Every structure is written in C-alpha cells, then in structure tokens.
Structure 1
Amino acid sequence: MGEKKYKYNAQTTTLKPIKNKGLRKIRNLIAFLIVTAFFGIISGFIFSSKFNTPEENTLAAELKEMKFQYELLNKKVKQSQEVLSQIENRDNNIYRSYFELDPIPEDVRKAGFGGVNRYSKFTDWTYGDLVTDVAKNIDILNKQMVIQSKSLDEVVISAKEKDKMLRHLPAIQPVANKDLTRLASGFGMRMHPILKISKMHAGTDFSAHVGTPIYATGDGKVKLSGREGGYGNLVIINHGYGFETLYAHMQKSNVRTGQSVKRGDIIGYVGNTGLSTGPHLHYEIHKDGKPIDPVTYFYQDVSPDEFKILLDKSQQMSVSLD
C-alpha cells in the first residue's frame, strides 16, 4: 500500500487524510454510467411503445383494416349461405318435387371435408382463427353451390323430358267441338248396334259430318294407317311413354305408316267405314296395352264444368255407333 498523505488544518490544528482523486473519479464515472443506463432503458421502453416508425404505423393500420375486412367478408359469406339455403329449400320442395326427382339429403348438401386439415397453416397466425373461419365457410359455400348447380342441371333435363312427354300425351279432342254433331257414346259396356250384344266399348264415339277433320291428339309416330276389319279405315299412333291412340271408321287417312306427326296435325277425315251405323269417329287411348277412358284426357279443350257435362253425356248412351 502507498503512504497516506495528510493535510494540516490550522483552524482545528488537526491533520486530515488526503483522498485519492483517481479513485473518486472512477466511482463517479461508475455512478454516472449506472444512472445513464437506467434512464436509457426507461426512455427506450417509453419511446418504443409510444412512438413507432412510420413503416410500423402503416403496417399496424393495414393489419387493423385487414382484420375488419376479414370479419366483413365472413359476414357476407354467411349471408350468401343463408340465401343459398333458401334456394336449396325451394329446389327440394318445389323444383325436384314437381319433376318427380328425389330431394337431396341435408347431410349431403352440408357435408364437410375429410382427410388432411387444410387450415393447419393458419394455426400460428395472429388472426389464424379468423382466417380459418373465413376459408372454411368459403369452401363450404363453394361445395354447396356445386351440388346445387348439379341439381339444377338435373331439373333442366327433367323439365325438357317432361315437356317432351306432355307434348306426346293424347291431350286434346280428335274432333273439334265446333264440328261435333254430338258425343255419341262413351267408354264402358254398351250394346253393339249391329251385333246386338253387350260389348265393351273401349273408346269414345264422336258424331260428325263425313269429311270433318280428325286431329292427332299428341306428338308421335304412325304405327298403322290402313283398313282393319270392323274398324274400317283407321290410324294408330304410338306416342311413346306407353301411350297409343286409335282413330277408326275414317272416310280416308291423311298419313302413312311410319310418319311422325304433331299434336293438332290432320291425320284423316270422319267417315262411316267398317261396322258403323253412321258417320262418326271411334277414338281409343291405350296405356301400356290397356284401353282407358279418353274423356279424362281432354284437359286442354274443356273447362271443369264442360268436362262434367261431357262425362255425363258419355255415360248416358247405352248403344254405341260401332
């Protein structure tokens, strides 16, 4: 250790040790550094939390706006799902029902996505839950739209087929009301005017003047055009879908075998050929090979009141004209 130095104080007549100035400077420096560091840390914390750089402020604003837009997008997606749900309901209960298509089950329409979790990449994101929710709802909406689109494709196909079928159904009278003398006889057991026996009358007789036009009652193809025993001159049309129509006792035919015809085409003219007691058209409808009452298929020509009158008249006759 070095020798201590003393300084004489004349007033107190005492000696005081002289302190080392270098050591004091070091102590002062250390104290200054500690205080500076402390205030630096505090200042840095305050400034870093209160005063970001312009770039950081811009990114923070964009992030906030992005969150808002994601929330808005998710809301719009859910609104779209509600609208689609209403369309699905109409599809099942109106469109598919009308065209005799089975409804699409709810579990098929709302089915989720199996296999790998396609949203795992969003797990560690700050707003990962929000992004996952939006992405999942969009995927579900897309799948529902695909299913609905395919359903509407089926409906369109069925509608076209239904329209085709309706055009082929025998749905009008073969003789116009304005040309009718009377509805002579209807469907059922009748007394045959020539054979004088009770016999099944498998059609409806339309009494009209010779030469009155006879119309095809639905689209189809002529199966037979010629003369056939007691029917005289006749035409048989195959309409498809199990339907055939027969037009007998014609004066003459206006079509040939194998010819395609449309509803309303003139296929012949009223006559009195074959086993007939007067000018009339004997008209039959067959479904799957069995005769059915034609009067129930005149829905395009008559009102409900006219239909009742027509039905009553057809059942009043006890004797047919053929």
Structure 2
Amino acid sequence: MSKVKYYYDPESLSYRKIERKKRTTIKYAFMFILASALFGFMFVFIASQYVESPKEKALKRELQNAQLQFQLLNKKMDQAEAVLANVADRDNNIYRVYFEANPIPEEQRKAGFGGINRYKDLEGFDNSKLIIETSKRLDILQKEIVVQSKSLDEIAKLAEEKEKLLSAIPAIQPVRNEDLKRMASGYGMRSDPFTKVRKMHWGMDFSAPRGTPVYATGDGVVIRADNRATGYGNHIEIDHGYGYKTLYAHLYKYNVRKNQKVRRGDLIGFVGSTGRSDGPHCHYEVSKDGQRINPINFYYGSLTPEEFNELLEHASLENQSLD
C-alpha cells in the first residue's frame, strides 16, 4: 500500500493530503519508460562493441580463413613465378638461340593491363588492397603463361622444321667406304680424261665396281631418273628441299623412279659407267639454291674424323677425273 503524504496549509492551519495530478503521473511514467529505453539501447550498443554474437564470430572466422587462403595463394604464385621465370630464361637463352629465333622481350612477358580499372568492383572492402594485388598478380601470371605457351608452340614448330632440315641436308657418302676402290677425284679444277684439258669438276667421283649400291644422302623427292642429260648417262637427281639438290651420275641402273620419296640411306641405284665416263664410278654433286658446292662439306653423318681427313686429302689432289 502506497504511503499517503501530507503538507501543512498555513491558511487553514491544518494538514492537507497531497493529491498527485493525473498529468504528473503520466509524465513520470513517460520519463521512466524513456529512461529505461535509453538505458537498454546503451547496454545493447556497449555489448555489441565488446561482446561478439555467434554470427559475428562465424563471419570473423570466415574472414580470417579467407585472409589465410590469400596468403597461401600468394606463396603459390611466388613458386609459379619462379618456375615460369626459369622456363622463360631457358626459352630465351637456349631454345630460341638454338633455333635462331628472336628472344621475347621482358616487357612483353611482364606487360600489365591498360585501359579501364579492372578491379573497381574489389574496392571499398577491409582487405581490398590484398585482394586487388593478388588479382593483379594472378592476371599477369596467367598472361605470362599464355605468352610462354605460344612461345613453346613456336619452338616445337621450329624444332620440327629443324628436324626435317637436318634429315634433308645431304650428310653421308653416296657409296659406303667398304665398297670403295678409291676416291678418284674431288671438287675443283681437274684434268679431263678425254681431252686432257683442265676444267672445273663440279662433283666428286667415287670409284667402285659395277653394281655397287648407291644411297640417297638425305631425305627428299626424286625429280629425275633418266639419261637425258648430256654426259651424265643414267643419273638420278633428288630435291631435298630448303634449296638442296643432289645428283648421282653414270649409274648402271636405277632403284627408284621419278616423284618417289626417299630417305637418307635408301638404295637408289647402282654404280656403272654410262654416259661420258672413263670407268665404273659414281659422280656425285651437291647444289644449294642452284649453285653447285663442294660435297666434301656434307659427310659428317657417315665418317669418323680420321676417315674424313683421309677423304679430304684424296679430294684435294689435282688428279684426273673419271668424267
């Protein structure tokens, strides 16, 4: 039961009961509710600043995990960049040098991305800097991989062409050493066997018994296998591509036909003495871009250094040719 309060009235010289007005009661009630609400709001605000809710804790853990993943991603990119740099170094200084291709400039390999801001959507977050830098590194790394991939495709193509070139270049003797009687005459000024006049001998003469096998000295296509060229008798001409051609003259008979593809070491004919010849032998010529050149420079595929030196000594003698 609430206490009753009185006040002294000097006019009536008596005590009167204090009557609280209804408006005052409502005012006090309103002030109490307002104060309670403010206190509750302050309590919630302070609690939110210092006490984490379960949802906030879960979000914080997710954020920490994301930061850790970005750090791990950056470490992996460090490793990938190191490996890619090693491949790029070998590409520029070994592969492209070997295949006589221009190296790829460093600014082309490491070029960024110009124009509009590609990372605008990543701005405005607590970890925007980390996210943007990682995204930039990843984009540049991807571009470097594309550049390197295209370079390796080019190297593979050059290697394939190089392999074809090496297979096409005349690189062996047309007559094996064990089948030779002697290297009768080399490239250069020689005495003609019929007129005895010194004139240019455009090939090398390999003296061997009639019927000795004659081999293709490089991969190519037979473009002639006939006796319609003056002085050569039965002869074969092979186009090796890349400007190289070889000719095998004074044959006894053929083992190939026109337009037939041959590989280095294939049996193409047999030694004879047809045409303008002074004895069984194979007259052998090499031409590059239409110019006849000394065949002795093309025997690296079948001779030892000692055999090559001996052949070089015999070829340099200014003796009489056999054709």
| TM tier, smaller | 0.7 to 0.9
Letter in 1 for 2:8: K
C-alpha distance 35-223 of structure 1, shift in aligned 2 (>3 A): closer
Q: Contact 1:78/1:137 (CA < 8 Å) preserved in 2?
A: no
1:247 paired with 2:240, answer no
| Conserved 8 A contact 2:170-2:298 | yes
In the other structure, the counterpart of 1:60 is: 60
| Counterpart residue number, 2:3 | none
- Partners in 2 of 1:250 and 1:274 — Cα distance? 9
Distance 1:205 1:225 in 2: 19
1:210 corresponding residue in structure 2: 210
Structure-1 separation of matches of 2:233 and 2:171: 24
Q: Is the 1:194–1:275 contact (alpha carbons within 8 Å) kept by the matching residues of 2?
A: no
Shift of 1:79: 2.0
Taking structure 2 as the reference length, the TM-score comes to 0.86
**Identity of aligned pairs, percent?**
49
Q: What is residue 134 of structure 1 aligned with on the other side?
A: 134
- Cα-Cα RMSD: 2.9
* Other-structure match for 2:119: 119
Q: Report the Cα distance in structure 1 between the residues aligned to 2:57 and 2:263, rounded to whole angstroms.
A: 77
2:123 and 2:209 map into 1 onto residues whose CA distance is 88
Partner residue, 1:50? 50
Aligned with 1:231: secondary structure? coil
TM-score (normalised: structure 1):
0.86
Structure 1: distance between partners of 2:202 and 2:179: 23
Partners of 1:226 and 1:123 in 2: how far apart?
A: 80
Distance (Å, rounded) in 2 between the aligned partners of 1:38 and 1:62:
34
Relative distance call for 1:255 and 1:33 in structure 2 (3 A) is: closer
Distance 1:86 1:71 in 2: 23
Q: Which runs of 5 or more residues in structure 2 are unaligned?
A: 1-5
Distance between the aligned counterparts of 1:260 and 1:30, measured in 2? 109
Partner of 2:263: 262
Cα separation, 1, equivalents of 2:103 and 2:181: 49
- 2:265 is paired with a residue of what secondary structure? coil
Shift of 1:276: 2.0
CA shift, 1:127, in A, is 0.4
Offset of residue 31 of structure 1: 11
Measured after TM superposition, the shift of residue 41 of structure 1 is 7.1
| SS of structure 1 residue aligned to 2:74 | helix
CA contact (8 A) 2:189 2:318 kept: no
* Aligned equivalents of 2:80, 2:208: Cα separation in 1: 62
Tell me the residue number matched to 2:83.
Answer: 83
Deviating beyond 4 angstroms after TM superposition, the runs of 4 or more aligned structure 1 residues are 20-23, 28-46
Structure 2 equivalent of residue 152 of structure 1: 152
Shift of 1:34: 10
User: Hey, what's the Cα distance between the residues in 2 that align with 1:112 and 1:77?
Assistant: 16
Give the Cα separation in 2 of the matches to 1:42 and 1:220: 94
Partner of 1:14: none
Work out the CA distance in 2 between the residues paired with 1:309 and 1:229.
Answer: 32
